[in-house]
A and B are shown apart, each in its own frame.
Chain A
Amino acid sequence: RKEVEQDPGPFNVPEGATVAFNCTYSNSASQSFFWYRQDCRKEPKLLMSVYSSGNEDGRFTAQLNRASQYISLLIRDSKLSDSATYLCVVNVMGTYKYIFGTGTRLKVLA
């Protein structure tokens, strides 16, 4: 079983739609969680950290469920520019390791 798992997609959604991605992690000692965005042929870029109480940044909302060991990302009012691969990232307590999921591909259609 992979340490961090995501549905690879693609998720094809119309502009303006709301879309949600989930990610599960296997190590219960995981302590820090992030969502990254990667555009085609570019480097991954930090989108947002994920906090235990959930957090929002504009149209993006991230949630963490420690009991079930999953995190989620909700994108409201999707824009064409949101088309990218979204990577779930986990950092295990006491390590410097950032473990990436395989990514979920989002295509926002006009």
Chain B
Amino acid sequence: DTAVSQTPKYLVTQMGNDKSIKCEQNLGHDTMYWYKQDSKKFLKIMFSYNNKELIINETVPNRFSPKSPDKAHLNLHINSLELGDSAVYFCASSPSGVGAFFGQGTRLTVV
């Protein structure tokens, strides 16, 4: 009965590949997020969707494309992976104004 679940937990891939990370929440929240935590541990927002509509897009390279098929799912597709994309990617959801609840993270390593 995990609240926010994302897959895979670990992802190791070569430069230039395309990969996807999936996220699902069973909390009934309207808003979902993707955050990136880099090697310096800084957690930075990338995207947010509210009821399947993109509401935040924080100057992320267009190689990153989020997709929300319904309000319980928010996936992240990354094209042409680069070494600098290596990080931990966290999915989160929020009922608005009361904080966000995070998935366990996907540790992406690009080699």
Contacts and interface: CB of A to CB of B under 8 A. Distances in A.
Contacts of A91: 97
B56 A87 contact: no
Contact of A98 (B40, B42, B50, B99): B99
Contact of A44 (B31, B43, B44, B94): B43
A43 B97 CA distance: 19
A96 B31 contact: yes
B55 interface: yes
Contacts, number: 52
Interface in A34-83: 34, 36, 42-46, 49
A19 interface: no
B41 A42 contact: no
A96 B50 contact: yes
Interface stretch (A10-18, A20-28, A99-107): A99-107
Interface string B61-95: 00000000000000000000000000000101010
Given A43-B90, A91-B97, A99 B104 contact: no
Given A49-B99, A103-B43, 16 more contacts: A42-B105, A43-B103, A46-B99, A49-B98, A96-B31, A96-B48, A96-B50, A96-B94, A96-B96, A97-B45, A97-B48, A98-B45, A98-B99, A100-B43, A102-B41, A103-B41
12 contacts: A36-B99, A43-B105, A44-B102, A91-B97, A95-B56, A96-B50, A98-B94, A98-B99, A98-B100, A100-B35, A102-B41, A102-B42
Q: Which 10 A-B pairs have the closest CB atoms?
A: A43-B102, A100-B43, A46-B99, A34-B99, A98-B100, A43-B104, A96-B48, A96-B31, A43-B105, A102-B42
